[in-house]
Amino acid sequence: MRAADNKEKLMDRIQAIFQGDRLIQDFGMKLLDAREGYAKVSVVVEERFLNAHNIGHGVLLFAAADAAFALSVNATVDAVGVQWSLNVFRAAKPGETVIGESRIIHAGRQSMVCELTVTAGDGRVLAKGQSTALPLPSRAFQGTGTIASASEGKATGTSKARSTTKAKKRRVAKR
């Protein structure tokens, strides 16, 4: 396969993850940059994201970091996050843009570790941390979900999941 084909397939997978993630879409995040092992997203600190102190809620900072994390680790392999540590240094102000960035610093067979950085649009570092993901065995979700659908070129994995469930019920009934 040509390098251009690989890059196109990678970007298709990243776009499918970004578009299929309900939280990313609900928060109105934007994809700024993504490639193998790296992702950068942004979100505006809207009124609905303010805490009782009238500053950006810490969960919004975490969500920006986590969205970038999900994109960076799932760009080439199905993986799930299992550990996060995020230290918040400064508050996000109402109306400003928050940028979440994730860079893989270790990609092993059994774990992936990312460095997380959250900045304000003006460059102030708001938070830093690390996260860990576990790569999933191939076919862990047997063709269901956004990532599998994008990589297999299928609309959904629903009918396949139904037929798998029916087959399991038949096996149990025979016992």
pTM of this structure: 0.79
Domain 3-136 annotated CATH 3.60.21.10:
no
Please report, for the chain, the start and end positions of each structural domain, with discontinuous segments joined by +: 3-136, 139-175
> Is residue 76 very low, low, confident or very high in pLDDT (cuts 50, 70, 90)?
confident
Q: What's the residue count for the chain?
A: 175
Of the listed ranges 33-37, 57-61, 159-163, the one predicted with least confidence: 159-163
Given this model, what pLDDT does residue 5 score? 84
Percent of the chain with pLDDT over 90: 73
Cα end-to-end distance, the chain, whole Å: 47
pLDDT per position as a tens digit, 123-175: 999 999 999 999 998 765 555 555 555 555 443 343 344 444 444 444 445 54
Which residue carries 């499918």 as its tokens? Answer: 16
Q: What is the mean pLDDT of the chain?
A: 85
More confident residue, 91 or 147: 91
Given this model, what pLDDT does residue 121 score? 93
